[in-house]
Structure 1
């Protein structure tokens, strides 16, 4: 594409044409010709900019958000909405006391509501299903955390332990929306091959990645593993994906099954020799490096010890290391389940 002339280049061209038509014309900065040329150059610059903007909207990879959505709409793709995190919490209280539906739980700046009423059992505890009041990733809780009822019912303690809350996602970004459109353009619908199943799963709110395993349980079967916000999805999202795929998959397909990956935490124990950094600082850097490594692992990927050693060695303050756990490579189970290795605890000590 030809370079767009600058304001100064346009004005110089106008002044040059003016002198070409009238060699005696005054084109000094204080002249009328100079002022008129500046005005025309300003208008022309705006027109060039507008034409360049229009050209960018022709192509989805350079289009603004509004026009990217129009490109997607022409092909039946819509921007995915933010979703609510859902999970479980443990409450305590008197046996027989009722935890009412819609009771609100506060956890930091996030609020959850109880989905269905539950009666506390004889042991004085009960597990309740909860759902966030606002959509987004902020409401996800992947580890047990304390919360409190905003107004505890009679016989129910105010303190609550939220076991987990997953499936909260933000509104789909432009880059993610564009990636789905480009995938459709590169791999158009093909009557139900594995790429179609992936596209169907990714079109459902709350799904951020999908992995398809054709013939996983025999002829005519397809298993689809989905994740949400780079973690395990909620049961609600799994159910929605299952219902949608069942409605669009070929009738000749024997069975398709949407599943969560089975998470296995990998604990790291490593001894290091350091230079120019404290153990506390080095531990923080090693933890961040390992988080980045594990975040790139997909369900079904194995953990390779030599790669973990390389990750630790690449930390700037580490001059030597000895990894004692895991002691050998961890091969992900893919038959009875789809195993997903995630980072567990990290123990760093001096070598």
Structure 2
């Protein structure tokens, strides 16, 4: 694209033309010609900027949000909405006590509500289904955390243990929306190949990534593994994806199955020699570095022990290390299930 002239360049060109028409014209900085040229240059600069902005909107990879959405709408792609995290919680109380639907539970600054009424059993415990009151990834709980009823029902303890909550996602970003559009442009619909299945899955609210395994269970079968917010999706999201794919897949396809990845936690134990940092500080840095590494591991990927050692060695305060777990590479199971390795406990001690 041709470079847009600057304000000074435009004004200089106007003054040059003025002198060309009238060699005796005064074009000094305080002259009328100079002031008039400055005004015209200011208008021209705005017009150039507007034309450059219009040109950016022609192409989806440079378009602003509003026009990016219009590019996507023309091809049947819409921005995915944020979704609610859903999961389970354990409660205790008197046998026969009822926990009504919509009872609210607080966990820090997050709030959940009970989805369906539950009666506490003879053991004095019950498992309830919960769903976040606000959408977003913040409500996902990957490990058990404590919560409290906002107003505990009669005969029910106030304290609650939220076992897990998954499926919460934020509103789709411009970059993710653009990535889906570019994928469609580069790989247009092809009658049901694996890229079509991926595009169908990614179009459903709550799906962050999708991995397609053609013929995974034999001829005519397709397995689609989905994730949500870099974690396992909720049953509700899996059901929505399954229903949508069943409605758009080729009628000749024998079976298409949307599944969750099977998560395996990988504990890491390492002894380190440090310089310029405490053990607590180094442990936090090592865990963060490992978490970033594991976040790039997809369902079905293996864990390479030497890569973990390299990640730990790259932490600035670590001068030496000896990893004792895992000691060998971990190969993901993909025949009967799709295994997904995620970071577990990180145990760091001095070498």
TM range (shorter): over 0.9
Q: How does 1:1-351 map to 2 (within 5 A)?
A: 1-351=1-351
Equivalent-residue separation in structure 2 for 1:51 and 1:168 (angstroms): 41
TM-score (norm 2): 0.99
- What SS does the aligned partner of 2:322 have? strand
Deviation for aligned residue 1:106: 1.0
Q: How many residue pairs align between the two structures?
A: 351
Equivalent-residue separation in structure 1 for 2:150 and 2:201 (angstroms): 37
- What SS does the aligned partner of 1:266 have? strand
Equivalent-residue separation in structure 1 for 2:98 and 2:186 (angstroms): 55
- Which whole-Å deviations, capped at 9, do the CAs of 1:14-41 have from their partners, x for residues lacking one? 0111111111111111111111001000
Q: Indicate the larger mover: 15-24 or 175-184.
A: 15-24
Deviation for aligned residue 1:115: 0.5
Deviation for aligned residue 1:278: 2.1
- Which whole-Å deviations, capped at 9, do the CAs of 1:84-134 have from their partners, x for residues lacking one? 000001111100000000111111111111000000001111000011111
Deviation for aligned residue 1:160: 0.7
Q: Indicate the larger mover: 222-231 or 306-315.
A: 306-315
- What SS does the aligned partner of 1:157 have? coil
- What SS does the aligned partner of 1:51 have? helix
Equivalent-residue separation in structure 2 for 1:271 and 1:174 (angstroms): 42
- What SS does the aligned partner of 2:291 have? helix
Give the CA RMSD over aligned residues: 0.8
Structure 1 consecutive aligned stretches of length 4 or more whose deviation exceeds 3 Å: none
Equivalent-residue separation in structure 2 for 1:278 and 1:101 (angstroms): 48
* Uncovered stretches (5+) of structure 1, i.e. residues with no partner: none
- Which whole-Å deviations, capped at 9, do the CAs of 1:124-145 have from their partners, x for residues lacking one? 1100001111111111111111
Equivalent-residue separation in structure 2 for 1:233 and 1:162 (angstroms): 17
- What SS does the aligned partner of 2:315 have? coil
Deviation for aligned residue 1:277: 2.3
Equivalent-residue separation in structure 1 for 2:315 and 2:134 (angstroms): 38
TM-score (norm 1): 0.99
